[in-house]
Amino acid sequence: MPTSVPTPRPPARHAWVVMPLYNEADVIAEVITGLRAEFPNIVCVDDGSRDGSASIAAQAGAQLVQHPVNLGQGAALQTGIDFALMHPECDYIVTFDADGQHRVEDALAMLDAAHDQGAAVVFGSRFLDDRTRPGWMKKVVLKTAVWVTNMTTGMRLTDAHNGLRVIRRDAAQKIDLKQDRMAHATEIVLEIGRTGLPWIEYPVELLYTDYSKAKGQSVLNSVNILVDLVVR
């Protein structure tokens, strides 16, 4: 007998997952397969990958938008948001990283929280509990980024550079990212704060895998965050 596809819960049926993608050929199929069990609408914005990530993402079932050259994560995120908003059935946007560090169950829980609590934005936070262990160097940098972001935006977040977010349509329509690289994470908080729309944080677990550690993402992203915060 053919395997039936589970019917997504109502908020997930009206959500689009937006995923910036850059050279993640080793993991992207698994990430998309995990998401598709719950989210029928996924768009990957391939940001000039050179390793076949785009074709793998499409084969795994994601819709694909491509940048011909690498423009940075912020630019890819804005392209994906614009694409999702073109679809009138899109009530929520879920931003989700392509490297396997985010959990589908956290995205679902955040979407339910947005729906049930009337929040326009739900920020995932790895610092609301102790499940995530980023290492001392990354933790110091991330906490510094939180302090800078809160001072800059007037918000009071516990985790400013977590790519897992749920954004309601009315909030997403007010986002116009100009910072194309890591500083976009502070910029998006600033723009959301200016809307006056209600927001909450939700505890999530980030998975620092052997794959991400082998790519050096933990240390490299920490350096990128500091550089972008200084020169933005």
**Which residues are registered as beta bridge partners of 17?**
42, 94
Q: Please provide the DSSP assignment of 156-209 as one string.
A: --S-SS---EEEEHHHHTT------STTHHHHHHHHHHHHT--EEEEE------
| For residues 82-104, average pLDDT | 96
Query: What pLDDT, on a 0 to 100 scale, did the predictor assign at position 182?
Result: 60
Higher local confidence (pLDDT), 80 or 161: 80
Higher local confidence (pLDDT), 176 or 209: 176
Highest mean pLDDT among 7-21, 33-47, 171-185: 33-47
Vertex 118: Cα angle to 113 and 119 (nearest 5)? 70
10: pLDDT confidence band, cut at 50, 70 and 90? low
Three-class SS state of 146: helix
Specify whether the backbone of 225 is left (phi greater than 0), alpha (psi in -120 to 50) or beta: alpha
Does the pLDDT value for residue 90 go beyond 80? yes
Mean per-residue pLDDT over the chain, rounded: 84
1: pLDDT confidence band, cut at 50, 70 and 90? very low
Does the pLDDT value for residue 81 go beyond 60? yes
Higher local confidence (pLDDT), 15 or 190: 15
Domain ranges of the chain: 10-231
Three-class SS state of 31: helix
What is the C-alpha to C-alpha distance for residues 61 and 59, in angstroms, rounded to an integer?
5
Higher local confidence (pLDDT), 223 or 144: 144
Query: What pLDDT, on a 0 to 100 scale, did the predictor assign at position 22?
Result: 96
What is the C-alpha to C-alpha distance for residues 106 and 145, in angstroms, rounded to an integer?
23
Taking each continuous run of H as one helix and of E as one strand, the counts in the chain are 10, 7
Does the pLDDT value for residue 145 go beyond 90? no
What is the C-alpha to C-alpha distance for residues 197 and 188, in angstroms, rounded to an integer?
13
Task: Please give the class, per CATH, of domain 10-231.
Answer: alpha beta
> Would you tell me the crossing angle of helices 184-195 and 136-153 to the nearest 10 degrees?
40
Order of strands across the sheet that contains 165-168: 63-67, 42-47, 15-21, 92-95, 165-168, 121-125, 199-203
Query: What pLDDT, on a 0 to 100 scale, did the predictor assign at position 23?
Result: 96
